[in-house]
Structure 1
């Protein structure tokens, strides 16, 4: 009986001390989508194209001042080029939304969920997460920097992992100057 009481007292004491020294300041901060930008840049043998995509929703999780997580949804139906005008812009935008590229009618959203966040410096972190495009999910690693209520990140994405095959040398031979490189960039400026 004495040992049972001692065990209970010890368990209560350990639990109390653990809770006393555990930081319970975890906070989820919503990204202000109207004040945030997502820019893409794709490359081909003969040049490049760039544009924007609208962030549908997003949040970052913090433990005090330290980033610990995040989750984002992108509205793929808003993919748009910014380096072309008129008819050429319309053709490229339509082609990017077609099944040749992102198939936005069937896959209107892409998502990113942070799995782990490792501090790299004062304001910098290495993130490992799951990126889903066209219903396919693959791991991705990238850097994110936090400054006050703003965050910036740059991601390099291999489109071939998501079934985006159009003019990819990974899937087709003899494309010559028609090759569109598999990797494209996403640059984000977020406000929360």
Structure 2
């Protein structure tokens, strides 16, 4: 069976005033229509092999890390090339790995799931849908630029980011570069100067930058074909 592996990591890097998120900035634009592609082969995501790793810094500069799982997902391939796909992120699965104290760990995770950040009770999933895959034209050594619609908290924006995409013996692999989005575009409000007075927040303000990386694994779904 052919396999498609979209490698990377998915990291949410919440930067405090004392730290910066590294990566190319992915500007948020209006959501794009998905381009129709006939006879694309569907590859179903393996949610056990697909992981979303996150890392972030609190206002004191302490770095935290953890993971989020996928609910489901799929990729679409035509003539041996990645042409589309989408995946659904289970926001309720968010966990922290670095805080050993169970009470503090639960408080941190609960805060990230609260209305201050991702409002998981109201918005239990996020998603990303590829709208185009193009040759990379920059100078940083990537092969492709992937554009897609990122939905969080019921807000959908189009973003683009670089990736290395390759094929070998029926396997597709892709590694995203680090890229940065502005959390305020998805109404993630906690201590953001976009929503609150910077003079009042002072050193308690948290930068809007979120850094991202993505990992996804998928297998061909019974030779199914589909149109995007």
Q: Same fold (TM over 0.5)?
A: yes
Deviation of 1:67 (Å) = 1.0
Partner Cα distance (1:74, 1:141) in 2? 19
1:165 aligns with 2:192: no
Change (3 A) 1:144 1:58: farther
**Superposed counterparts of 1:1-192, under 5 Å:** 26-47=40-61, 48-85=63-100, 86-120=102-136, 124-147=143-166, 148-153=171-176, 154-172=178-196, 173=198, 174-192=200-218
1:59-106 Cα distance to aligned partner (Å, 9 max, x none): 111112211111110001111222212222111100111111111111
Deviation of 1:134 (Å) = 0.4
Q: TM-score, normalised by structure 1?
A: 0.78
Tell me, which stretches of 5 or more residues in structure 2 are unaligned?
1-36, 219-228
Larger Rg: 1
Deviates more, 1:118-127 or 1:84-93: 118-127
Larger RCO of the pair (alpha carbons < 8 Å, separation 6+): 2
Higher share of residues assigned helix = 1
Partner Cα distance (2:95, 2:214) in 1? 15
Tell me, which stretches of 5 or more residues in structure 1 are unaligned?
1-22
Q: TM-score, normalised by structure 2?
A: 0.67
When the two chains are superposed, the root-mean-square deviation of aligned CA atoms in Å is: 2.3
Which stretches of structure 1, 4 residues or more, deviate above 4 A after TM superposition? Answer: none
Change (3 A) 1:90 1:44: closer
**How many pairs does the alignment contain?**
170
